[in-house]
Amino acid sequence: MTKSNIIGLVIIVGLLIGYSLWMAPSKEEMAAAKRKADSISFAQRADSLLALEAAMDKKTLDDSLAKTNPVAKAMPVHDSLSKGFGTITDSEEKFYTIENDLLKLKISSNGGRIWSVQLKDYQTFDSLPLVLYKGDSTMFGFEINTEDLRTLNTADLKFIPVGTDGADSLRVSGKDSIQFALRVYPGKADTTSSSSYIEYVYTLKGNDYMVGYKVNFVGMRGYIAQNTRDMSLLWSTTLLQQEKSLKTEQTQSTIHYMDLAGEVNYLSETKDAKERVSTAVKWVSFKQQFFSATLIAEDKFESTDIETIGYPDNNMDRQVKTMKSAYILPFSIESDQSYNLKWYFGPNKYKVLRQYGMNLERQIPLGWSFFLMQWINRFAVIPVFNWLESTNMNYGIIILILTILLKIVLFPIAWKTYISSAKMRILKPEIEEIGLKFPKKDDAMKKQQATMALYKKAGVNPMAGCVPMLLQFPILIALFRFFPAAFELRQQPFLWATDLSSYDSIYSWTAQIPLLSQFYGNHISLFTLLMTISTIMYTKMNNDMMGSTQQMPGMKTMMYLMPIMFLGFFNNFSAGLSYYYMLANLFTFAQMFVIRRFVNEDKLHKRIQENKTKPVKKSSFQKRLEDMTKQQQQKAIRK
């Protein structure tokens, strides 16, 4: 080996050592890598929880246990769990009822879970008791790894009530409150003296949709695996139809959740969705169109997996969606562990949800993504609507008065729009003369300059009519969000409409007509039809007022086609929304009639002619713009 080879080898080794030292991760990077690895492990565990949930029926669970622990499967269930918990394979299910003025909860001994929730003040669209969910389509329980290498879920354990003196039903009213507790003890423990148990404590106040839910793990050392560092909670249910339109209810039902910063997010409402929320979560809500079931942590859920599964809108079982969730909670075997949770079972009514101070009202689609839209609804529309509601008038009359009040508020904008369109109409003959003077496409720039010069000389701003319309647009969209989401309209009749929150069918059919049934539906909503007719009339009136021939080719046709397209879109929407838009169009006609009586267009024309005789002051910006235009024209001539 030559000297040069040795020197080269030393340099290469030095470079390798230097590179490895340079690329070595810092302490911060090593900590970040560890957090990432923990997150991946956490996510893998959550995946296994969701997989387990899909197979939570007893047979599948036993088959799974047989594969992981054949010895346990070969032995009788209770004998194999001499240090664990007895399951409910040979136990009869018992139900206990607790209720207040608003809720009726049925609690099962199997798993100690809430088997069903009835909202006593409400009914389904077909006059049945309104039950949010039932136990035969619901799974809820904590997953436990026992000392004898088994995995159990509290949903499969037999709970017994404590402190009820044998009563199967408890009721509370007014400002009072009650507690109902159930416990499950280790398999061979003496329940009269055992200090080891899992306890569920339900607290119910007399006039509240919120239900206290405390979970206590007491004396679990020796029963739950020593290496347990966290507890997994699984909750899933299939929500059933409550409203008239199953399709509409499906497109407005999904899972909402709030993180510790107060930010509320949700899964897609229109398609199946699944998400792993790796950050801490305060609450998770299974939200339907007008009702929701929400699980709330006093502290937090460390991690959450959520998923929604949809069904065809013509399914015979009236299924809206299946919603699944899996949570991770911290756990220590060294001491007793308690989790303070809450349930909200109730209506998605703004003033009800708002009172709990946890952003639950953000489940109501009021346009939260656009600040101006939500401000209009929160600080204007909802307070006025609630004030009118306190008078106990019919909701159709309330919408009528609300429309009148809005039109009064927007009257200055309507006045400004009319004056602008009147000025444009007066200048129409002169604008047409300019068009005849510059008929060629090459003279488009000259034509535009001449038109703008006319506007400037006459003191007319062609954008003056657009600005008022832009100011009205947020209000229009805000109310588009408000009426379909307004719980107050649910099952409220007006004229021929039996439910202002749903479509008002005056004629329906069962035959599936190609295209018509797909894009329009199998019914005729009269308010939507009247709204469409009034919109077409308004479009014609607006075109006549403007009297403009400067529209792009086909634009006028498109303006008439848009209301017809909306006919199919609004046919399945809230009758209250179509009713409001129809009223808005009618009051616009009335406003235009009143304004015409007070605006003298001859005087307006005279004022415009006077403006033409006055010298036009050009701003510095306008001068620079004209100079640039002249320079461009001179360059074009030279070429």
Judged against a pLDDT cut of 70, whether residue 637 lies above it is answered with: no
Nearest in space to 418 (alpha carbons), one of 588, 548, 610: 588
Mean per-residue pLDDT for 513-535? 87
Least confident residue range of 65-69, 264-268, 527-531, 551-555: 65-69
Least confident residue range of 156-160, 250-254, 584-588, 613-617: 613-617
Give the integer Cα–Cα distance in Å for 532 and 521.
Answer: 16
| pLDDT at residue number 108 | 93
Nearest in space to 95 (alpha carbons), one of 77, 75, 113: 113
Mean per-residue pLDDT for 51-59? 42
The domains of the chain are located at: 52-364, 373-494+574-613
Judged against a pLDDT cut of 50, whether residue 389 lies above it is answered with: yes
Judged against a pLDDT cut of 90, whether residue 36 lies above it is answered with: no
Band (pLDDT 50/70/90 cuts) for residue 72 is very low
Nearest in space to 53 (alpha carbons), one of 150, 182, 134, 151: 151
Band (pLDDT 50/70/90 cuts) for residue 545 is low
Give the integer Cα–Cα distance in Å for 315 and 24.
Answer: 59
Judged against a pLDDT cut of 80, whether residue 231 lies above it is answered with: yes
Count CB-CB contacts under 10 A for residue 102: 20
Q: Give the phi and the psi of residue 528 in degrees, each rounded to 5.
A: -65, -40
Mean per-residue pLDDT for 402-409? 90
Please give the residue that has the higher pLDDT: either 370 or 216. Answer: 216
Least confident residue range of 44-58, 95-109, 122-136, 604-618: 44-58
- Residue 324: alpha-carbon gap to chain centroid: 17
Count CB-CB contacts under 10 A for residue 472: 15
Rama region for 219: left / alpha / beta (φ>0; ψ in -120 to 50; rest): left
Judged against a pLDDT cut of 60, whether residue 200 lies above it is answered with: yes
Band (pLDDT 50/70/90 cuts) for residue 334 is confident
**Residues 544, 550, 554, 560, Cα dihedral to 10°:** -20
Per DSSP, the chain holds a count of helices (H) and strands (E) of 20, 22
Q: What rounded mean pLDDT belongs to the chain?
A: 79
User: Quick check: helix, strand or coil at residue 20?
Assistant: helix
Residue 82, CB-side half-sphere exposure with 13 Å CA sphere: 4
Please give the residue that has the higher pLDDT: either 209 or 371. Answer: 209
Least confident residue range of 46-60, 102-116, 533-547: 46-60
Mean per-residue pLDDT for 200-220? 94
- Residue 201: alpha-carbon gap to chain centroid: 31
> Which residue is it, tokens 């369109």?
421
Those residues with Cβ within 8 angstroms of residue 254's Cβ, 6 or more apart along the chain or in another chain: 266, 267, 268, 269, 273, 287, 308, 321, 323
Token digits for 156? 């499969």
> Which residue is it, tokens 């001179």?
634
Length of the chain, please? 639
DSSP 504: -
Mean per-residue pLDDT for 342-370? 93
Nearest in space to 416 (alpha carbons), one of 599, 548, 620, 609: 599
> Which residue is it, tokens 């838009």?
581
pLDDT digit string (tens) for 462-482? 666 566 667 778 888 888 889
As a whole number of Å, the end-to-end CA separation of the chain is 76
Please give the residue that has the higher pLDDT: either 166 or 383. Answer: 383
Q: Calculate what percentage of the chain has a pLDDT beyond 90.
A: 41
pTM of this prediction? 0.77
Mean per-residue pLDDT for 188-216? 86
Q: Give the phi and the psi of residue 150 in degrees, each rounded to 5.
A: -115, 155
Q: Calculate what percentage of the chain has a pLDDT beyond 70.
A: 75
pLDDT digit string (tens) for 90-125? 568 899 999 999 999 999 999 999 999 999 999 999
Rama region for 337: left / alpha / beta (φ>0; ψ in -120 to 50; rest): beta
Looking at CATH, the fold of the domain delimited by 52-364 is given as Beta-galactosidase; Chain A, domain 5 (2.70.98)
